Amino acid sequence: MNAMAKTILTKNDIEKVNEAFQGMSAPDRIKWLHAEFGARLVLSSSFGLQAAIMLHLVSEHAPEIPVVWLDTGYLFPETYQYAEELIKKLGVTVKVYQPKVSAARQEALYGKLWEQGEEGNTRYGLINKVEPMNRALQELGTDIWMSGLRRSQSSTRVDRQFAEQQKQTLKVYPILDWSDSQVAAYFYDHNLIKHPLAADGYATMGDWHSTKPLEKDTTAEQSRFGGSKYECGLHLESGTQDFQI
């Protein structure tokens, strides 16, 4: 365990990031975070529709930062292929974390959790996303967690601050204030490859059983979990479990 990860997070840490990020560009935010927190930093990536942006920013401005990829075992085949292509192209250091219980074993023991309402979906998120991410933070000795969340992605994210505490971890969002047009421009300006399913009407990307293309008069939020919710639990305080540092 990295000794630096034992540092106790305080309200001042949150305020420090929120103040520093005001008026900064995303590249400057990445560089500032790396200079400020060093080995305490980790980036999580889903290798979804917009994942290339944070991966490119890190590869360009702080390539020492490790990337955690949570492989649930239920990703689209195209996502696995896209991830391999991006990793080779950008040269990022990726640490793959998977659930302790395989997909086949989960279904044998619990059935298809994603078809079992709110309780089943919550249990699914804990097994496949929350526990592996908590384990990654522990094993890598990191407690500053970067993510590519943006306010415009869903109603659950509109009030987010650039930094917030989630249990014993400081969550930071360097592109939180980016608009969809900024995302499109960054892809174009840096010639980033797009997820193969972006051309098939998907507005968001998750596991194959809980994500569908946009239909007429629907929103991105309605294309996840049958429209019942957008978040899987990974980025919600109520959906996390404590872990020991």
Write out residues in the chain with pLDDT < 70, as ranges: 1-10, 154-156, 215-245
pLDDT for 153 equals 73
Task: State pTM to two decimals.
Answer: 0.85
Terminal-to-terminal C-alpha distance of the chain? 8
Which domains are delineated in the chain? 3-237 (3.40.50.620)
pLDDT for 125 equals 92
The answer to whether the beta carbons of residues 209 and 112 sit under 8 Å apart is yes
Distances (CA, A) of 41 to 36, 105, 226: 10, 33, 34
- Round to whole Å and give the CA distance between 45 and 171: 13
pLDDT for 239 equals 38
Sign of CA dihedral 221, 225, 229, 235: negative
pLDDT for 230 equals 44
Q: Which long-range contacts (CB under 8 A, 24 or more apart) does 29-32 make?
A: 29/162, 29/174, 30/57, 30/58, 30/61, 30/62, 30/174, 31/61, 31/62
Token output for 206: 């998750």
pLDDT for 12 equals 80
Token output for 136: 């990654």
Q: List residues with catalytic annotation.
A: 232
pLDDT for 217 equals 60
pLDDT for 244 equals 30
